[in-house]
Structures are given as structure tokens and as C-alpha cells.
Structure 1
Amino acid sequence: MTDIILFDDPEALVVAYLRDVLPGYGITLPVGTAVPRTPEGKPASQYVRVLLTGGSTTSPVTDESLIVIEVHYGIDDDSTVASRAASLIRGLMAAMPRHTPAVRQVREVGRPVPRTHPVTGAPSYSQSHAITTRGL
């Protein structure tokens, strides 16, 4: 049988990490890979979304994944709150290899940039990171 190398799900690694560390900094937004729903079934207006957008293997045992992290805040919230949360996540992503054994390196690809939510008009920020993981 041929030996194969498997890699952890990069979205799942980032989601688990941010869910674990953000509350310690006072950020209690839901973190996931999809837009969360309110109890009424409507899309939530405040959340952090993690999206895998590409990547490739960089050696026989390492994989680099391109991840976009979006921070969305409700329409009535001050955009400086969204900006601070995005800046905090930026710093936390740089520290991720020290807290997540499967992650070898996090490289910033795109700094947090302001966006306006296309439906609600709420302030949001988007940033990109390349995450290198080692296969099992």
C-alpha cells in the first residue's frame, strides 16, 4: 500500500483557534465558515467568517492554504469596533503557530481592509493569510 500524507482542514483549524482565543479579548462574535442565522432564520449581522480560497502543497509534507477572514458588524455599530476586531484578529493570526501545533507558519497576504456589507451596508473588514500546515 502506498504511503499518503494527509493535511488538517485549514478552515477548521482557524475557526477552532479564533473561537478559542477571541473571547479572552472581549470579542464574542460567532466564528464559522458560513453566515450564521438568527433564531428567526435571518442572516446574522455580526460574525466572523473564515473562507478557504485556494492554496497548494509546498513540499511533500507541507501545504499552504489561502484563507480569507471577514469581520462583520451590525449596521448600528461604530465602524471603529469592526476595525479593532479586524486588527486584533490580524495579530492573533500571526501568533497562531505558537498555539496550534499543526500550523507551522502564518503569512499575511492582505492586511485588513474596510468593506461595506453588500446587503446591510454594515461595516466589515476582510483580510487574507497563507497558512502552512505539516501533513500527518
Structure 2
Amino acid sequence: MDKTKTSNQASEIYYHGTKANLKEGDLIEAGFNSNYGQRKVAKYAYFTATIDAAIWGAELAQGEGEGRIYLVEPTGAFEDDPNLTDKKFPGNPTKSYRTTSPLRIVSERSDWQEHAPEQLKAMKEHLERLKQMGIEAIEE
């Protein structure tokens, strides 16, 4: 991975939004179908340092059940997520990252507010347009 980072910043809190029902100590790993595009097998596990990006992850995740947000700890090096950074947007405003190493669940955060229904609908429509255009997640 280029421009790798490590989680030696004790003050940084990281989140992962999903619909998976996990518990403290569980690991989130690459190798499962992506939530986006053609749902190819993801080469990375994704996480963020902003609650809003984690909420989008929880709301847009595939599958049944309610969205969940977990506080996670990267177990290895990670890099900026190119899907939400310089390759598509300047900088890294969502503080989104990816790693080939597992993410360890530290705890679940339950005090979050969903996006407004019309905002969620607009985002889902936007993602569907990208899918129809054949635009996939950057997995290089």
C-alpha cells in the first residue's frame, strides 16, 4: 500500500458502518462482497474517523437488518481510501481509510442519527446511476 499509516494516534477514533451484527473482539476483514457497484469481492476493509461517513456505511450496506456503527481498531497499516480522496475529491474530507489487515471491533456506538429519508433516497439513486454507468470502487 502507498502512503501507509498506522493507528499509533491514541486520540483518533475510527468507525465502521455495516448491517452485520458483531461483538467486541470480532474482526472485520477483506474478502467479502463489496456493498457497491457489481458487489465484487473487496480487497480491503474500509473505515473512517467521522461519524457521518460511518452512518452512510451503515445505511448503504447490503443485507437485511438495522444499520450498526462500530468503533474499530486497525490491526495493521492503512491508507487513505482513494474512492473518497484525491482520486475523486481533494484531500480526505471524510477521513476515510482502507486496509488489507483486519479491523478489531472495540465497541458498538448506538447514539447516532440516521440521515433524512429524502437524503438517503438521493444517495441511493446516485449510487445506482454510478452502477449503471459501470463506475466501480477503486480497488487497485
TM-score range, shorter chain: under 0.3
Q: Determine which structure has more spread, i.e. the larger CA radius of gyration.
A: 1
TM-score in terms of structure 1 length: 0.28
Larger strand percent: 1
Larger helix percent: 1
Q: Which has the higher contact order (CA 8 A, sep 6+)?
A: 2
